[in-house]
Every structure is written in structure tokens, then in C-alpha cells.
Structure 1
Amino acid sequence: MHPNDPSLRSFVEVVPSSDFPIQNLPYGVFSTAATPSPRVGVAIGKFVLDLSEMERAGKLGEGLSDVFASPSVNPFMAFGPVAWTETRARISALLRHDNPELRDDTALRERALIPLEKAKLHLPLAVSGYTDFYSSREHATNVGVMFRGKDNALQPNWLHMPIGYNGRASTVVVSGTEVLRPHGQLKPPSADVPWFGPCKRLDFELEIGVVIGQSSRMGERLTECQAEAMIFGFVLLNDWSARDIQQWEYVPLGPFQAKAFATSISPWIVTREALEPFRLHGPAQEPEPLAYLRQTKANNYDLRLEVGLRAARMKDYVTISNTNFKYMYWSSVQQLVHHASSGCTMNVGDLLGSGTISGSEKHQRGSLLEIGWNGTEPVELAEHTRRTFLEDGDSVNILGFCQGDGYRIGFGSVEGTIVAS
């Protein structure tokens, strides 16, 4: 049976609302108190299957050379799409309810199936490079209306290519890492000169991260099919943004320090293959893109996304955004094709941020800048608690999943709390 078959069941109990059924099997890196060395595993229900243990037991075939004992998924990704497909199929077979190979091996099962509550989750990949795009038409339009007016909302180049900038791989962090309020140069319109101090207009950005699992050569351009094959999987991504620092620094070259201080990602990489049943065509692109950016496949995904915000004194998150990855104007494949179109080398472990994901309705906006309309429409969280931008102690939590027939392909969450500078 194909690993995506909706009828598949695991001997590991998985409730229908779980993010991690047998049809998912996302990759992550974890450690335990008993074995503190980080290694690679896949999530299944409320457990993580230790792939390094399965490899030592000879259950994953030959030729992978201890890749799962690594503190990142990069060595495994480097083996390429054929190995990705074969390994996922093998893991799926081992976890099936009707396969006794692992199910009935009590000793191996106890060594290899670790309760998630006992696992410490780490950054799942060694990030080679990080590029953030700006590919939601609704988000770009909202921001343009705020700062340039309705008649000049989109810049002339926006409908012709995926706009992006090179961010900092060094400050990509795993979910749960605290985010220090950044410092930078600040100059509001009323001031004559800038000063240096802590950001006062701190924001989140709801994004999906694309994990590149294969490299390209310098000077090589990519086709649609080549780019698709290079994508290993996807993560939830929060590209924290210091709006006031950005407002002063972004002319003429775009964001710099306003985005360099932290980018949070979820600890589980959901594979491209697991998302295959949820592919669909994105919005119509007018004018038609240049030939190298034209698509013949459905390269968007029906992936539901939710943002929760919680103030320090609050117990529960308040949902402030519900949107969907399917709204993106430029797909992940187009972003990768364009990134390499100049001959730029792509590396195993490169991370591409989708750009803020927003829909056409207010509840579908993917940043506080949009939800609160640049501070003019505060967000009500609780009695006497409103937000225009993030305050110290605030926590942001992003969830995402694709809904299947009786199961869901989920990403877990990406969470971060703002701490005083």
C-alpha cells in the first residue's frame, strides 16, 4: 500500500485529531535524558520513532551509512529523492498495524519508540542559507495600501517575479526558543534624527518554510520539475519583524536588522510526499509570468493555518488569524526556480520563507501589522488587554495542518515568547 493511503493504520494508537498519523511521518531531531546525543526520528501519534535505533537494528536497509545518528536531517536529505521515497515507504511498512516486525519485537519497540513527552526537540536541519519571499498578493497589497496608498499598493515588479531578500541563517531557531526584543536605529516621521534603542513595534509573520534537500550547481538554472524534486519538505515559520527598525532602514535595499534577529521554525519537517494529496492550483497569475516561471502542475497546497496570541497574564491563546497556504500568488516551486535563475547555487539545508500568508478577509491576515492596520485597530485579547504590536511576555503560537479523510497531516506548532531586551 502507498504510504499516503487513507486506509493505512498503525499499531501505534493515533487519534483522528493527531497531527502525526502513519500517513505523515515527519522528520525531526530529538534527544532524551537517557541518551542526550541528538538524532533523527519521525513522529507517530504521541511517540517519536528513533531512526538511529532502527538503523542499528538493520531495519532500514543498507546504504544510508548511519545518517540518522546525525544532529540534523541534512545527511539524509543529501541522498536524494529516491532514498526519501524508499525510506518513507519502509518506515510506513514497519509501523503498519498488520506488520509484526516491529510491533511484536518488544525489546526493539521499547528502545525505538520514545514518548514525545520524554523527547527534547531540536532544530531539525543545519540551515545553509535563508531567503525570505514576499509572495502573498493580499499581504503585499495590504502593506502597500498602508504605506503608499491604494493606487500604488503593488510595486511594478511584484506581478512579474517572486520578490525576496537574503536573511540570516544564523538566527533560525526551533520552536520554544525565547525571542529577545531587538535593538536598532529608530526614526519615526516626526523625528529629525534617528536614535538607537529597543524595537517598539514588534510583529510576527505567519509563513511556511520550504526545506531544500538537494543542491544545484553554480550557473545552473532549474526547470519546474527539477525544482519540485529538490524540495524535501515544509515547516511552519514565524519570521519575526521589527516594523519600526524596518521603516527607517529598508530604503533602498530592503530589510536588514529588522529581520535578522530571529526566525522560528517548527521542529517537524513534513515531507513533500506526505502533502501530495493536498496539492491544488494557486490563484490565476495575470499577467502571465515569463516562460521560466510558468507552471504546468498544481504547486500550491490546501494547508490550514492558525495564529494564537497570549499575553503574559493570560492562561490560553486567543486565535487572531485563520488562513490557508493555498492563497499564495507565487508557489514554492516558482520561488526556487526564480532563486536559481541567475545561476545562484542552492545547497542542501537551504530554507525558503514563503512570505507572510494572508487571505482576502480580515481574519485571514498573517501579521499584526495587517490585523491591527498599522496600530489603528487594536486587537482585543481579553478584558483590558489589547495589542497593536507585541509586548514583552507575549507568546505567539502557529498551528498548521492538511485535513484528509479521517486523518490530518499536521506540522505541530511553532511557538515563541518575547522577552525584554
Structure 2
Amino acid sequence: MEFRVETVGQAGDGVVTADGERVFVAFTAPGDLIELRVEPQTGRGSPRRGRIGRLIEGGPERVEPPCRHFGRCGGCALQHLSEGFLADWKRAAVITALGRRGFEEPPVAPTCRGGPARRRRAVFTVRADRRGAITLGFHERRGRALVDIGECPVAEPEIEALIPALKLAMEGLLRPRGEARLTVNLTDAGADLLIAGDLTESLALHERLADFAAARDLARLSLQRAGDAPTTLVERRRPELRWPPLSVTPPPGAFLQADRRMEARMRELVAEWSADAGRAADLFCGVGTLASALPLRAGDLAADSDAAAVAALKAGIDRAPGVELETAVRNLQRRPFQAGELSGFGLVMLDPPAAGAREQCEQIARSGVARVIYVSCAPATFARDARILADAGFRLAVVEPLDQFFWAPDVELAALLVRD
């Protein structure tokens, strides 16, 4: 049967109505006319899913996907949608999430647009078959099969150019049927590569990897066996993140903001929103990406549960003359800063994982903090936490969606809440 795609759902799948039910169909665009094949329901209460039997007519927002792996590779879900539509759709996702928490006509700015060839961090899976042949790429969408890729147009060109060389470098490094994860971070001093997994190691293999690092001009190459901490095999130069006056060397495989332009925009917003705020506490600080955009007054604090990231930030602070920033290692989900501990801080900055920062926001609500900057990768949990703060007298001043995860349904945002 033929159906017209009505909209795009929260996970990026198109939505059609069939027999009175919403059916989610991957890789469809609003206005598409499709021949629909409904799939068996996987469990009670699970969403109904379908697939395209045939695309009869493309909708106005459909574009040609630029990657030959699109449709199988689970790395991207939205290459078939126009950039303008994606920007509007992600803004609408933020508005919808806030609306569900009672924010009427929330002050959501236009989306800061993303783009291709801008992902500065990639995590590839590499697998050896029983003969040792290597497959490198991303898992299939909603599957465990590995899609062998030759290029990745969402990644920065320096990462994309590494893909064929990484396949060759991994030959003989994995045990038969072994698997590893390759994390490539582009720092301001070059690529930082962490190979983690079921590795075979020998002097000859180490020498081959060192030659590979030199040939590809890597800043650093590290190895990590299961259950062990990473060890640096070769460091040709320090892999620095430069945020003058700070320069931070992240630990191998560290979490970095995925898009450098989006990182720069976040830092612009932090600098603007933190002006004249008094002492600041950056909670969930990581390696200090956003803390380094603060005025860095005496008494400012940066805290995170990741001890290696905090140690890297502390080392950067120690190297930077005149920078005063206290650091702390603390699990903020289990031990949020209590209201009394926040006494004297005018600003709290939050950049939590997708689960959000409910317990921490409850303490901020009870404190005398007057300003909160909240960076989030999950609009639903942000809206929940913003409701906690709003009920305590905070006003949602502005929210800016950031299309950091281009061609993916994930939505980043930065928000300012103030207590008038």
C-alpha cells in the first residue's frame, strides 16, 4: 500500500499512519510517497516499524545522501534530509521537550548549523575474522554486524584519510575473532589515537605501530588492553588543546566536543553569559573545555568524576601563569554539591551526560546561586532539570540548539537560566 510520510519522529525516522497506528520508517523524509512494508512488532508496547518497499515520490526535503555506506552504516541516520530541514527539526525538538515540561513559548534561538567534514572525534570498531582479515567501521543501524567503510564524509578530512591506513596498521594486532575500538581525537597538535581491545603485542608489532604513527604524523598513539589503563606507545609531540592561556593535554581517548566550530560557539556563549557573574563552579568539567572560557577568577572551581580528565586540566592550570582554578574529582551523580557548598558562587555551569543532572539541580535550586549555564546533549533531561530550576525561581533566558552531531538525530544545546 502507498503512504505519505507525515513528519520525522524524535529518533529521526519518518512517520506514517497505517490502520490508525503510527509507523516509524527509517530513511524517509516528510512528503515522501512510499510503498510501505510493516515489520512484525518486537514486543508489547514497542513502536511499530516499517521499511520502504519502494520510493514512489520524494518529498521536498529529500536530498541525495553523499555517502555510499548510508542506509547500512549506523553512524548517520539523516543524510537524506536537507540542511535547512535538519536545523529547523532540531530546534523543534528542543521546543517540544520544553513544552512537555510546561515551558510555553520558550526562548529558543535558531539552530547553530552543523555541516559535513567537521567531526573531530571518531570511535571506530575493528574486528578480525578467524583468519585475521580486518573489518573497520561502524555497526549497522540497530544491529551488531560491522559495516566496513572506506570513507566517512561526516569526519574531518584528517580522520577520513586515516581509515585505509588504520586497516593496514591493525593487521596482526588483533587475535582471531578479536575486536577493538579505535578512538581518534584531533587535537591542536595533531591526531591522538587510542587502540583498545583484545590485542596481541610484541616488539615487532610495537615497532610497526611506531612507524605508522610517524608515517601518518600522529601526535600520540596509545594502547589499552581490556581492564587496564591506557599506556602511551609513542608520543611524537604533546597532543594539546589550546584555549589561551590554558593548554591541556587530554588523556588518551578523552571525551572532546565533537565539532570544533560548535565547541567555539559554546565557549563564546560561556564567555558572554558568565560576565559579571562572580565566582563560578564548572560541574562535569571534563578536560576544561568550557571552564577555560570563564574569566577564571580566584575561587573558581572545576569538578568531574573523571580523575584522568581532571588531572589533565590541573596540569594545564599549573603550566599557565596567573590562572587560578581549583579542581576536584567528585562523582556528581552520587555526591552532588550541596546547597551549602555552593554558598558564595554566583554561577554554576553544567555539562552532564545524557542522564542529566537532576540531583545537582535540586541542590542548586536550594542554594543562593543566581545564574546557571547548562550545556546538554539530551533535550528531554535538560527540560526536566530546567523545570526544577524554574520552580525555584529561575527564568529560562535563552536556549541555543547546536547541530554538533550532523546527520544524526542527537541534539546539543546551550542554555542560560537566571534568578531575577
Give the TM-score normalised by structure 2: 0.26
Larger Rg: 2
Give the TM-score normalised by structure 1: 0.26
